[in-house]
């Protein structure tokens, strides 16, 4: 069910400000693609343009093409809500719904969309999603408790469970481990490894080791200076990027000479 993503000549704007310029890339299905680069270079903006979350901010818009499985996301006849059902997202900070229990949080994607599900089917979905997110063992005895009562790492895995419960084609992760301790980070990285057999995963990370550990391909974004648009510098297999990158800028960034 995973789909590949083709991006061509994508320009992303905040109002009049061009934030990301001329991105061309192909994100392969059933693999992990990491986006790296210095702060403010447009990685997160680019990620958010992949499920039309970018336009939630007033004035933000995009031109260019994003194709998922041959369908253009920015076609005027496309409903952004449908896109977001197909492309799930995990955010930087864990954001479980505070009014809902753990159980309801996992089901939020269905319940909020008013899908009628039988109790047995719902139990099944919750168990499957929580097991997939490596959280089942820790919370199976307190599914009725509020999601906010979990630790940060558990909350983040709950958010991942919530995102995969709706069975998206693609999972976008915006620095999912930046607010977590090393143990929770490692749990989530293991989870990413397991999830890539079913999902196309795109992950933004500031942690180069993490990119090297979890991803098949890596895209390096850079920015020429403040106020200039971010650009995709290089996209290659992770192995190549971290050993013999094509671009000198990539090498400089990875070896820590700037950024």
- Check residue 58 for interaction with another protein (CB under 8 A): yes
Best CA proximity match to 104, nearest among 87, 119, 93: 119
SS3 9: strand
The least distance separating another protein from the CB of residue 104, rounded to whole angstroms, comes to 10
Note whether 53 binds another protein by CB under 8 A.
Answer: yes
Closer residue to another protein in complex, CB, 53/135:
53
- 149 lies in the site for another protein, by CB under 8 A: yes
Task: Based on the shown chain and the rule CB under 8 A, indicate whether residue 153 belongs to the binding site for another protein.
Answer: no
For residue 43, give both structure tokens: 């990685």
Q: Strand order of the sheet with strand 217-223?
A: 71-72, 60-68, 5-14, 17-27, 230-237, 217-223, 32-36, 200-204, 170-174, 87-90
Nearest distance in Å: CB 247, another protein: 32
Task: Examine residue 200 and tell whether it contacts another protein (CB under 8 A).
Answer: no
**What is the closest distance, in whole angstroms, from the C-beta atom of residue 143 to another protein in the complex?**
12
Q: Which residues contact 229 (CB under 8 A, 6 or more apart)?
A: 11, 18, 19, 20, 21, 42, 223
Helix pair 182-195, 119-132: axis angle to 10 deg: 110
Answer yes or no whether residue 135 interacts with another protein by CB under 8 A. Answer: no
Angle subtended at Cα 97 by Cα 80 and Cα 32, rounded to the nearest 5 degrees: 55
Angstrom distance (rounded) from CA 99 to CA 114: 17
Least gap, CB of 199 to another protein (angstroms): 14
Q: Is 88 in the site for another protein (CB under 8 A)?
A: yes
Please tell me whether residue 160 binds another protein under the rule CB under 8 A.
no
By CB under 8 A, is residue 5 in contact with another protein? no
Q: Binding of another protein at residue 159 (CB under 8 A)?
A: yes
Q: Is 78 in the site for another protein (CB under 8 A)?
A: no
> Which member of 147, 153, 230, 245 binds another protein (CB under 8 A)?
147
Strands 200-204 and 170-174: parallel
Q: Which of 236, 254, 221 is nearest to 20 (CA)?
A: 221
Nearer to another protein, 42 or 96 (CB): 96
Is residue 93 involved in binding another protein (CB under 8 A)? yes
181 binds another protein (CB under 8 A): no
| Distance, CA of 93 to CA of 110 (rounded, Å) | 22
Indicate the residue among 144 and 256 with the shorter CB distance to another protein.
144
For residue 158, what are its two tokens?
């709950």
Q: List residues binding another protein (CB under 8 A).
A: 51, 53, 56, 58, 81-86, 88-89, 91, 93, 95-99, 108-109, 111-114, 145-150, 159, 162-163, 166
């Amino acid at each position: 069910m995973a789909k590949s993503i083709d991006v061509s000549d994508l320009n992303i704007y905040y109002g009049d400000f061009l934030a990301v310029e001329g991105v061309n890339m192909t994100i392969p299905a059933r693999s992990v693609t990491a986006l790296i680069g210095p702060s403010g270079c447009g990685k997160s903006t680019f990620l958010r343009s992949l499920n039309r979350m970018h336009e939630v901010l007033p004035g933000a818009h995009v031109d260019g093409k994003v194709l998922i499985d041959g369908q253009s996301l920015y076609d005027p006849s496309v409903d952004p809500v449908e896109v977001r059902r197909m492309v799930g997202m995990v955010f930087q900070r864990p954001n479980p719904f505070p009014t809902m229990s753990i159980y309801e949080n996992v089901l939020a994607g269905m319940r909020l969309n008013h899908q009628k599900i039988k109790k047995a089917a719902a139990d099944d979905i919750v168990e499957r999603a929580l097991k997939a997110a490596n959280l089942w063992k820790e919370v199976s005895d307190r599914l009725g408790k509020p999601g906010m009562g979990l630790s940060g790492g558990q909350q983040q895995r709950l958010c991942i469970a919530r995102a995969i419960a709706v069975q998206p084609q693609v999972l976008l992760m915006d620095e999912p481990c930046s607010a977590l301790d090393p143990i929770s980070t490692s749990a989530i990285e293991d989870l990413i490894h397991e999830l890539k057999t079913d999902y196309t995963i795109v992950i933004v990370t500031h942690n180069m080791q993490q990119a090297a550990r979890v991803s098949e391909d890596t895209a390096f974004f850079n920015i020429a200076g403040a106020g200039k648009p971010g650009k995709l510098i290089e996209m290659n297999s992770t192995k190549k990027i971290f050993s013999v990158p094509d671009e000198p800028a990539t090498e400089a960034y990875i070896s820590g000479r700037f950024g």
